[in-house]
Amino acid sequence: MSGDVQVRFCERPGVRFPRATHRVMVFEREDDARRVMAVLPKRFEKYALRLHPEKTRLVRFTRPPRNPDGRGSPDAPGSFDFLGFTHHWARSLKGNWVVKQRTAKNRMSRTLHAIAHWCRENRHEPVREQHRKLSQKLRGHDAYFGITGNHEALKCLRHAVERIWYKWLSRRSWKARLTWKRMRELLRAMPLPPPRAVHSVLLRAANP
């Protein structure tokens, strides 16, 4: 069982406290998890704190059955978002069940929205400068989200960024609208940096 707990600190006159913090609490037994969830609100109220009602929940996160994938069954494991990642069960290359992480949908949407806004505001800048900035943004994204097992999400981000960049480059001038053929030529000449796993989950697990 796992719970994503968000705490909102109360503000008092003249004093500002951190707005929120996140915690994941893991329990081996479901009854222990439910007992803690029942007592947490009372403990927090004692210090004038409260749990976020929409982000505090219990999640069954047990290992899936060996043979079937467990989809649709009452005991199917759930997933949860924490610190920008969706944590979920998936098969390893050897066919074993392992916990993996992928970029959470809301974080991916937020990143693409920010890049689209940047491309729109800077569409008249020199193309090489746009390429440099977009490459910098993607490397910065990989610096946090570039972990083992998240390659597919990083690759999808690249494809989405290429489409966004094409959209706003094609709107630089109505007289010389950019075609996809010319865009592909541009990407061959100035490719965006490929997805990169900056952080190895396997290496970290082997060297705690």
Are 110 and 201 part of one and the same domain? yes
Residues 6+ apart with CB under 8 A from 138: 157, 158, 161, 192, 193
Do 32 and 120 belong together in one domain?
no
Tokens for 175?
Answer: 């007289």
CA dist., res. 138 & res. 193, Å (int): 7
Higher pLDDT: 56 or 15? It is 56
123 and 59 in a single domain? The answer is no
The total number of structural domains that make up the chain? 2
Three-class SS state of 159:
helix
The position carrying tokens 């610096």 is 143
Residues 94 and 109 placed together within one structural domain of the fold: no
For residue 77, pLDDT beyond 50: yes
Q: Which domain holds residue 130?
A: 105-206
Q: Beta partners for 91?
A: 97
Q: What is the pLDDT of residue 64?
A: 83
Express each pLDDT in 31-50 by its tens digit.
Answer: 888 888 888 888 888 888 88
**Per-residue pLDDT at 194:** 95
Domain endpoint, select from 60, 77, 102: 102
Specify whether 116 is located in the same domain as 193. yes
Residues 20 and 44 in one domain: yes
Asked if residue 8 has pLDDT above 70, the reply is no
Is residue 135 domain-shared with residue 172, that is, in the same domain? Answer: yes
pLDDT at position 205 is 46
Residue 185 φ/ψ region, left for φ over 0, alpha for ψ in the -120 to 50 degree band, beta for the rest: alpha
**Domain identity same for 144 and 88:** no
Asked whether the beta carbons of 162 and 192 are under 8 A apart, the reply is: yes
The pLDDT tens digits for 158-180 are 999 999 999 999 998 776 678 99
User: Domain boundary residue among 46, 78, 102?
Assistant: 102
pLDDT tens column, 101-115:
999 999 999 999 999
- Do residues 115 and 69 both lie within one domain? no
Q: Which two tokens stand for residue 87?
A: 């944590």
SS3 (DSSP) at 67: coil
* pLDDT value at residue 6: 42
